[in-house]
Amino acid sequence: MKNKEILLGVLAGLIVLALVYLLVSLAIIIVPPQEDNRWLASWFLETTYNSERKELWSASPEVVTSILWDYRGLDTVYETSVFFFAIIGGLMLVRSVKIDPSKLGIRGMSVISKTVTKIVLVSIPVVAVSVALHGHLTPGGGFQGGSIFAVASLLAIVALGVGFLYRRGWSKVRLLGFRTMGLIIISIVIMAVFITGLTIGATGYIMQNQWKPWAPIGYGYLINLGLLGNVLYSGSLIFLNIAEFLAVSAGLSLAFIIMALPREELIKGGDLE
């Protein structure tokens, strides 16, 4: 037994050494020197926040969010709907389960764990919301913020029990409602410019963010808040980020809650066992 373990350790070390040797000396993975950006990267870097070329910009200093929600925005919308259908498909499997909150007798962990979890539980949504609302300024965005928020609900499920969330009204219907509300906001935001263009007789595109010389409708990018000064909101990006945050946080929380249901609830009425 002991010899086998030593042998395995030495073998793993040799494999790692061989891989490192191949990587470094033979340059199997060629890492190009980063002296200047590639053509595509510099194109995006030069146009996303370039106020001198307003026909190409998206009014956001954060290139990744601009690409995700403006330049290739429809792709992200499709991704969001795929995620929605995945959650719906997961719910189909448990559609006959009726959850009775009073019977969820899971009491969670000890008092120490519960107390600290309640403290941490306050701070995680704050981080999540700030990541989502700053999505057009700093790395992050709706999906990332929603995922961080889902960590909070996962923590609550593990430490405080599923009953904690159920007693606060996190029911299946309500979470699905938030999820659907996010999707509806996304569809309104991406259709608004197009429909306005149709009604007033100007050119407008689906998923359009800023105005173009040939399509003069757009969301604008600065709002004047009086004493607070001008706030950059980057057109449709902030609305799409908020909607995506709603959708992802509700959807992932729902997925975690369904996964954490007690086994007796899930097999009630089924043929299993």
Partner 1 sequence: MMSEIINMLVFYIGLILVFLGGILDLLAAIGMNRFKNFYLRLHAATIGAIGGGFYPLIGLGLISLTLDWMGTNRFYVAGISFTTAFFLVLTAPVGSHALAQGTHKSRIVEPEPIVVDRLREDEEKGLIEK
Catalogue the long-range contacts made by 156-160 (C-beta closer than 8 Å, 24 or more residues apart): 156/117, 156/121, 157/256, 157/257, 157/260, 158/108, 158/109, 158/260, 159/108, 159/109, 159/113, 159/114, 159/117, 160/108, 160/109, 160/114, 160/117, 160/118
Q: Restricting to residues 185-244, name those near partner 1 by CB under 8 A.
A: none
Stretch that binds partner 1, among 44-52, 106-114, 225-233, 260-268 (CB under 8 A): 106-114
Using CB under 8 A as the binding rule, whether residue 117 contacts partner 1 is answered as yes
How far, in Å, are 36, 46, 211, 218, 238 from residue 215 at the CA level? 34, 22, 6, 8, 21
Of residues 184, 182, 172, the one with CA closest to residue 256? 172
- In the bound state with partner 1, the residue whose beta carbon lies nearer, of 40 and 119, is 119
User: What would the x/- binding string for partner 1 be over residues 56 to 75, using CB under 8 A?
Assistant: --------------------
- In the bound state with partner 1, the residue whose beta carbon lies nearer, of 110 and 199, is 110
- Token digits of residue 261: 């249901």
Pick from 3, 51, 102, 110 the residue near partner 1 by CB under 8 A: 110
Q: What's the CA dihedral at 251, 252, 254, 256 to 10 degrees?
A: 170
Stretch that binds partner 1, among 11-19, 28-36, 107-115, 144-152 (CB under 8 A): 107-115
Pick from 123, 138, 196, 230 the residue near partner 1 by CB under 8 A: 123
223 has which bridge partners?
231
User: What would the x/- binding string for partner 1 be over residues 159 to 188, using CB under 8 A?
Assistant: x-----------------------------
- In the bound state with partner 1, the residue whose beta carbon lies nearer, of 91 and 120, is 120
| CA pair distance 117, 109, nearest whole angstrom | 10
Pick from 11, 116, 184, 191 the residue near partner 1 by CB under 8 A: 116
With CB under 8 A, what is the number of residues at the site for partner 1?
10
Q: How far is the CB of 148 from partner 1 (least distance, A)?
A: 14
Using CB under 8 A as the binding rule, whether residue 138 contacts partner 1 is answered as no
Binding stretches for partner 1 (CB under 8 A): 109-110, 112-113, 116-117, 119-120, 123, 159
